Amino acid sequence: MGAGAPGVLGPRPVAAPARREGGLGGRAVALQGFPLPRQPPRSSAGAAMEFAELIKTATVESVLLSGAGLPPVRGTLCITSHHLLLSSRPGGDGAPGSVELWLLIRNVDAVEKRVQNLGWYQPPRTNGSQRDTRLAGSSGTITLRCKDLKVLQLEIPGMEECLNVASSIEALSSVDSVMMLYPFFYRPPSLRLEAGWHLFPLERYYQQIAAQTSQWRLSSINRDFSACPTYPPAVIVPAAVDDEALRKAARFRQGGRFPVLSYYHRKNGTVMLRSSQPLTGPNRKRCREDELLLGTVLDEGERGFIIDTRSAQAAKQARMTGGGTEPKASYPRWKRLHRPLERGRPLQESFAKLVDACNDTALTMDRWLSRLESCRWLSHVKAALSTACLAAQCLDREEACVLVHGAEGTDTTLLVTALAQLILDPGCRTLAGFQGLLEREWIEAGHPFHLRCARSAYSHARLKQEAPLFLLFLDCVWQLSRQFPFSLEFGEQLLLTLFDNAYASSYGTFLGNNEKERCLCKVKESTHSLWAWLNEPGEKKKYLNPLYSHNALVIWPSVEPQSIQLWQGLFFRWIRSSEYLDEAWAEIQRLVENDDTSVEESAGNRQSQAPSDTAAQTENKR
Amino acid sequence: MTQPVGWRLGVMTSLCVDHVQQSWQQCIVENVRLLDRVSSRKAALGTLYLTATHVIFVENASETRKETWVLHSQISSIEKQATTATGCPLLIRCKNFQVIHLIIPQERDCHDVYISLIRLARPVKYEELYCFSFNPKLDKEERERGWKLVDLNEEYNRMGIPNNYWQISDVNRDYGVCDSYPTEVYVPKSATAHIIVGSSKFRSRRRFPALSYYCKDNNTSICRSSQPLSGFSARCLEDEQMLQAIRKANPGSDFLYVVDTRPKLNAMANRAAGKGYENEDNYSNIKFQFIGIENIHVMRNSLQKMLEVCELKSPSMSDFLWGLENSGWLKHIKAIMDAGIFIAKVLIEKDWVSFGHKFNHRYGNLDGDPKEISPVIDQFIECVWQLMEQFPCAFEFNERFLIHVQHHIYSCQFGNFLCNSQKERRELKIQERTYSLWAHLWKNRADYLNPLYRSDHSQTQATLHPQIASCNFLYKFWSGMYNRFEKGMHPRQSVTDYLMAVKEETQQLEEELEVLGERLASLQKVQSNDNKVKSKQQDQNKELGRSTSNISLANTPQEYNSNLKSFPSRSPSQGDEEDSALILTQDNLKSSDPDLSANSDQESGVEDLSCRSPSNGGCLPSEDSGKDSDEAVFLAV
C-alpha cells in the first residue's frame, strides 16, 4: 500500500470523501477504482532517477484547483513520477487531508501556463503585511487539458513554482518510452498480474469456425512476426493456401498484411476478410498467390465484394507510391466498392474542432449547428456506420464474401470490420463478446494505439500519427446502443472507460502498436490487463446495461442524418451536469430490477408453497 | 367507439356513396402509386379513395392490403407536379408532418383529385369539420363528463386562488370587455371593474392583464395581456393602476417585470401603428425586458424551411445540419425556452385554449388568410419535449402524448381546439355537438404515462431549472415529431414501452401473487393449469414490450449503398462493364428472394412478435401504417 508521495499522503486516498477524479463530478470513475501509485520496483530504479530529474518542484502549498462544475479547492499539490495529486489541507494532529485530485500525468494532453504579476491589483497597503503582498505579488495559473477532455485549472502562488510545475508536467506527460509508462509500475493488490491476458485466444474463435467448416485453418506462419510485423502470431486463413503462398502474398501487401479471416457469418457461411492494400504500383504488378488466396475464398460461381475505404481516386493515386487496389482483370470475381472514410490528420482535426466547439461557451444557438457541421465529426460517424452496414448487408443479404481494406489496413479497415460484426453477430454484443471483439479486431489486429492515441483533442504538439479512429468506433457503437437500447449488454459507461484507457491508462491492454511490440516490451508479463479489472464483479456491474435482452437478429441501424446524434455523454461529460439523466437511469435500473426481483420473489414463493409447479414457472420467466 | 379493425373497407365504400349524394362526386382512382419518402425505390401500387373525411390509399398487394388514411383536416398543402412518363405526381403535405407522395396515371384524374382535395382540405364552415360528424358512440352524460375533465376553476384552486390577493371577476361575463377572453377572469382584488375596463381600452384587442399562473409557495404570479396602445406617447391611467394592482398582489416583490416577447425592433415599429410597449417612466416600479421571440410570420417560414430539410432525399450530414441551422427553428425554440418559465405540469387547456389563442387562424382548419397561420403550438409542444429530454423523470406523460395532442390539434376530430375564443366556441355549442379530446386521451391514459415519473421524485417536486445558458447542444432535432412517419429513422426499440410493460407486469405479478396466496390458503395444494397459462401470457407481454416498433421499413437494411449506381463512372481506370449486374437494391433483393419481404421482420433488430401497439383499437392518430392501420378506426362512426 505505497502512496505515491510519502509525507504528503499518509494513508490510502480511498478514505477520501467521494470526490471524483479531476474534482469535477460528472461521470468520472469513483476514486475507489483509482490506481494507487507505487514506488517503482527495484529493477527500474534507473527510471525513477530519470523521472526525478524531470520533476523540478515536487510539492507546492496552497494551490487552488478549479474546474467547471465544482467549487474550487485549495490544497497541497504534489507531483510524483506518474500522478498529480492535490490534497486539501490536513486537519489538526497530522490528520490526513482529503485527496481532491488524483490525475494520471499521462492523461494530460496540453499544459497552458499564464503567470501574472498581481502587485498592482493589490489594494493600497493599509493593513496588509509586507509578506502577504509579496506572496500575492506573483502567481500563475496552469490550465491542464486532459486527454479524457476535462479541463482543470491550478492557481499556483509564486511564478517560479508555477513554471516549474508546468514544465515538470509537460516533461512527464510526454515520456514516450512504452516501458516507462505507468502500467509497468502499477500493482493493484486485488488483481493478479497474469489475469485477463488470455481471455480471448484466437484459437477458441477458430474452434467455433472449425466446428462448422473445414475451409479455414489456423496458421502460425507469423509465430515470430516475420511474415507481418503488425499481425498476431496466429491468423485464420483458407485451408487450401499453404504458408509458403501466404508468405508470398504478404510480400504483395503493404506491411505484409495479407488477407486473413476477420469474421465468419455462421448463418450462411460467408466470411469477412481484411488486409492492407495490394502493392500494385505504377506498373500494375500482380501476385499469383494473392489472387489464389482470394480466389479460394469464393466457391464456384460465387462473387465477392472488396470494400475499399478510400475513394476510387485515392486508390488509383496510391499506385504512384507503390500501393493501389485489386484490378478487375486479375481478380475477376471480386467487385470493388469504394467508400471513402476519413482517417489521419483530417480526422484528428475534426475531433479537435468538435471539442473546441463544445467548449465554446460564447457560441449562440444560431451558430452552433453550423459549427457542429463544420467539424464534420457526425459526417464521419455516418460514413463509418454506413460502410459497416454495407459490409454487413453484403454478407447477410447478398450472401457474398467481403474483403475490407484501405491503405495500411490498420485503421478504417478495422473500424469497418469491427462495426459490421457488432451489427451482425449477437455474440459481439455481450460484455465479454465485445471485449473479445476489441481484443481480436483492434488490439491483436494491430491498430497502432500508441501512435494514434498519443495525443487527444487539445494538444498543441505537432501532430504526427494521431487519429481518433478508436473514438470514432466507440461513437458508432454508442449510436447503435441508442438505436437499439436493449441489444447491447454493456452501456455508455463502458465506452467512456475504454476511451479513457485508450488514451491514458494504468493497464497495459492498449499499450504499444501491435503484438510484436507488446511481446518485446513484455506487456503481458509486466502489466495488468484492463479486462481483469473490468470483469471484477463489483466493477463489472457499472458497465452492464440494465435493459439488455439477448437479440439474435441483425441490428440494422438507421444512418439518416436525423438518426445520428452527437454523443453528449462523451463530448459534454465535463461540461454539463448529467444529474437528471443519471437520475433517470437510476430509475430505469430500479424499475427493471424491481421487476426481476418481483419475478423471482413470486417464483420463489411458489417454489416454497407449490413445489410441483416451479419448473414450469421459472422457465417461463426466464 | 372502437370498431374491430377488420371492417373498414366495406363501410368505407358505403360512406363514399353516401357522400356522393350529399355534395361530393365519388372519387376512386386505381393504379395509383404511393412512393416511400425515404427510399425512392419502394413504391406501392394501389387504389386511392376520397371520402368526405379522409383520403385513403389501399395497397393492391393481396396479403397485406395496407391502408393509409389521412384526414382532410390534416392536409396542409397539396402540390401537383409536372406530369412525367410514369404519371402525374401529387404531393400531399400534412400538418402532422406526414408527406404522401402519389403518382396518378392519368393527368385528368390527378387534376380531379387535386381540385377535390383543395376544397375538402379547407372547409368554409365549422360544421364541415370532422368533429361534428365524429361520433365515438358515447352517451350524452359521458360526453359532458369529457368536457368537464379539465376544469379551469379547479386549476386555479390548485394554485390557491382565489385568495387574499386574487379573485374571479365577472366583468367579462357577456364577453363585453374582451371577446377573446373567457367569461371568468382572475384579476387582483384591488382592480375594480372601472380599472379593468379602462385598461382593456388601452390594450390591443382589449386583452387586459389577467392572471395566468400563481405560485402559492412564494405568492408570485404570471399575468398576461396584449400590447398597450401606447403609440409614441399615449398613456392610460387605468392601465397604470392595473399594473400597480398586480404588483401589490405580489407582496413579496418590489418590482414588476414586464416581459415583451417580441424583438425590440418589432415593438418599436408597432408604435407607429399606435401600439407599442409600456414606458417605464409612466409605470411605477416596473422593469421592462424584451425577449426576441420572432413573430408568427418568421416562425411559419422557419418551420417551413425545417420541414423542407426533413423532406430531403438522402441528405448528407452537412445538408441536414446546414438546413436545420438555416431554418433557424432550434434557435427560435431556444429563444422561447429562454423566455418561458415553465411549470412541471404543463396545462395546455388553460394557457392556450381558454385565453383566446387564435386556434382557427393559426391552424388553418378553415379556409382563411394563410398569413394568419403559425406554428406557435407546435413550438410549445416541442419546448415541452425539449424539457422532457432534459428532465426524463419530471413529466407524468410521455412523448406519445405530445405527438397525439399535436395530431388532434389539427385533426378536428375533437372540439377542443376549434375556433378562436371561448365566445366563438360557445356560440357554436361545441360542447354539445362535439367530443372532448381530453376524455379520449384520459381513457387511454395508460399509453401516455411516463414510466419514469414518480410523484415523489425530486424532479417532480420543484420547479425545473433547465440548463439554459450557452447549452445549445441541449436543443435537439425532434425526429419523433417531424419525421414521425419515417419509422426507419427512429430507435428500433422503445425504452418507454418496455418499461411500461415491465411496470404492468410487476403489478400483475403482484396481483397474481395475492390471488394465489388467497387460493392457497383455502385450497392447500390444488394446482390449476390456469395459472400456467396466465403467467405465460404475461411473459409474452414483456417480450412484446421490447419489440414495439416493428414496421417492415425498420426491419430491413436501408440503402446504405445509395450511390452505388454512380460507382462505375467513378472508377474510370477500371472501365468495368459488369458493375450494373451487382446491385444491392431492395428490388433486387426482393426479386432474388421472394420470401425476403415477408420475412423481413425476422431480419431486423426487433423480433416479429405481433406488436403490442399501444394505440391498438383506440381512435388514435396512426403512426404506423403497417399491418393494422390505426387510421382506419378514425372512421368508426
Tens of pLDDT, residues B57-79: 888 877 777 788 888 888 888 88
Give the one of A370, A482, A606 whose C-beta lies nearest to B322's C-beta. A370
* Most confidently predicted of A56-65, A481-490, B32-41: A481-490
% of chain A residues with pLDDT over 90:
43
Chain B residues close to A593, C-beta within 8 Å: none
Q: What is the mean pLDDT of residues B379-389?
A: 79
The beta strands (E) that lie in B226-375 are given as: 256-260, 286-290
User: Which of the residue ranges A29-38, A50-59, A492-501, B193-202 would you say has the lowest mean pLDDT?
Assistant: A29-38
Q: How many CB atoms lie within 10 A of CB B104?
A: 25
Is the distance from CB of B50 to CB of B106 less than 8 angstroms?
Answer: no
Determine how β-strand A70-79 pairs with β-strand A83-88. Answer: antiparallel
Q: Let me know: does B367 contact B583? Beta carbons within 8 Å.
A: no
Q: A77-109: per-residue pLDDT in tens?
A: 888 888 888 888 665 455 566 777 888 999 999
Tell whether B470 is within 8 A of chain A (Cβ).
yes
3 state SS of A253: strand
DSSP symbols for B436-490: -HHHHHHHTHHHHB-TT--TTSHHHHS------TT-GGG----HHHHTTT-GGGS
Task: State how far the Cα of A474 lies from the Cα of A149, in Å rounded to an integer.
Answer: 15
pLDDT score recorded for residue B298: 82
Q: What is the CA radius of gyration of chain A?
A: 27
B467, B536, B546 ranked by CB distance to A486: nearest: B546
- Close Cβ partners of A401 (under 8 Å, ≥ 6 residues apart): A270, A271, A272, A273, A297, A298, A302, A304, A305, A395
Q: What is the average pLDDT value for chain B, to the nearest integer?
A: 67
- The three grid cell numbers given for residue A149, joined into one nine-digit string: 477532455
Long-range contacts of A200-207 (CB under 8 A, 24+ apart): A200/A435, A200/A436, A200/A439, A200/A440, A202/A232, A202/A234, A202/A235, A202/A236, A202/A440, A202/A444, A203/A234, A205/A236, A205/A436, A205/A440, A206/A234, A206/A236
Contact A257, A231 (CB under 8 A): yes
Residue B296 labeled ligand binder: yes
Residue A599 has pLDDT above 80, yes or no: no
Among candidate residues A423, A420, A521, A412, the one with its CA nearest the CA of residue A470: A412
Closest CA to B360 of B380, B346, B381, B374: B374
Specify whether the CB–CB gap between A590 and A408 falls below 8 A: no
Q: CA–CA separation, B407 vs B99, rounded Å? A: 14
What is the rounded CA–CA span in Å between residue B522 and residue B219?
A: 58
**Distance separating alpha carbons of residues A77 and A65, to the nearest angstrom:** 9
Mean of per-residue pLDDT scores for chain A:
81
Place of cell 479547492: A73
pLDDT score for B452: 78
- Which string of DSSP letters, residue by residue, matches A294-340? HHHHSPTT--EEEEESS-HHHHHHGGGGT-----TTTSTTEEEEE--
Number of A:B CB contacts under 8 A? 239
**Which residues touch A229 (CB under 8 Å, ≥6 apart)?**
A255, A256, A514, A516
pLDDT at residue A124 greater than cutoff 60: no
Q: Which residues contact B400 (CB under 8 A, 6 or more apart)?
A: B447, B448, B496, B614
CA distance A262 to B87: 48
State yes or no: B104 annotated in a binding site. Answer: no
CB contact under 8 A, B452 and A588: yes
514-543 in chain B: CB under 8 A from chain A? 516-517, 520, 525, 527, 531-532, 535-536, 539
Residue B15: Cβ within 10 Å count: 18
User: Which residue stretches of A429-468 are H helix?
Assistant: 431-438, 449-452
* pLDDT of residue A1 exceeding 80: no
- Band the pLDDT of B14: cuts 50, 70, 90: very low
Q: How far is CA A345 from CA A349, A457, B15, in A?
A: 6, 12, 66
pLDDT band of residue B368 (cuts 50, 70, 90) is: very low
> Which of A364, A372, A486 lies closest to B321 in CB terms?
A372
How far off is chain A from B279, nearest CA to CA, in Å? 30
Measured in angstroms, the CA of A576 and the nearest CA of chain B are apart by 8
> What pLDDT does B419 receive?
64
pLDDT the model gives residue A5: 36
Distance from CA of B71 to the nearest CA of A (A): 26
- Residue A76 CA to residue A154 CA, distance in Å, equals 11
Identify which of B452, B539, B557 has the shortest CB distance to residue A393. Answer: B557
Kindly indicate the confidence band of residue B530, based on its pLDDT and cuts at 50, 70 and 90. Answer: low
Average the pLDDT over each of A221-230, A425-434, B346-355, B543-552 and give the range with the smallest value: B346-355
Nearest chain B Cα to A361, which residue? B470
Q: Are strands A304-308 and A334-338 parallel, antiparallel or unpaired?
A: parallel
Q: Phi and psi at residue A16, in whole multiples of 5°? A: -65, 155
Q: What is the pLDDT of residues A505-552, one digit of tens each?
A: 999 999 999 999 999 999 999 999 999 999 998 899 889 998 898 888
Supply B210's cell numbers: 389577467
pLDDT digits (tens, 9 = 90+) for A344-367: 889 999 999 999 888 887 777 778
Mean pLDDT along residues B553-571 = 42
- Taking residues A42-53, what's their average pLDDT? 53
Predicted confidence (pLDDT) at residue A130 exceeds the cutoff of 50: no
Residue B93: all three cell numbers together: 403535405
The whole-number average pLDDT for the span B192-215 is 84
Residues of B in contact with A555 (CB under 8 A): 492, 604-605
pLDDT at residue A299, as a whole number: 86
User: Which residues in chain B are contacts of A616 at CB distance < 8 A?
Assistant: 532
Task: Pick from A377-386, B34-43, B457-466, B588-597 the range whose average pLDDT is largest.
Answer: A377-386
Torsion of CA A584, A586, A588, A590, to 10 degrees: -140
pLDDT band at B339 (very low <50, low <70, confident <90, very high): low
Q: What is the CA radius of gyration of chain B?
A: 28
The reply to whether residue B318 touches residue A316, judged by beta carbons under 8 angstroms, is no
Residue B241, CA distances (Å) to A8, B247, B281 in order = 68, 10, 14
Model pLDDT, residue B208: 86
Percent of chain B with pLDDT over 70: 62
Average pLDDT over residues B87-99: 85
B503 and chain A: CB distance < 8 Å anywhere? yes
Confidence (pLDDT) at A419 = 96
For A539-591, write each residue's pLDDT tens digit. 998 899 988 988 888 899 988 888 899 998 899 888 877 777 888 888 888 88
ipTM for the assembly: 0.73
Looking up cell 397604470 gives B240
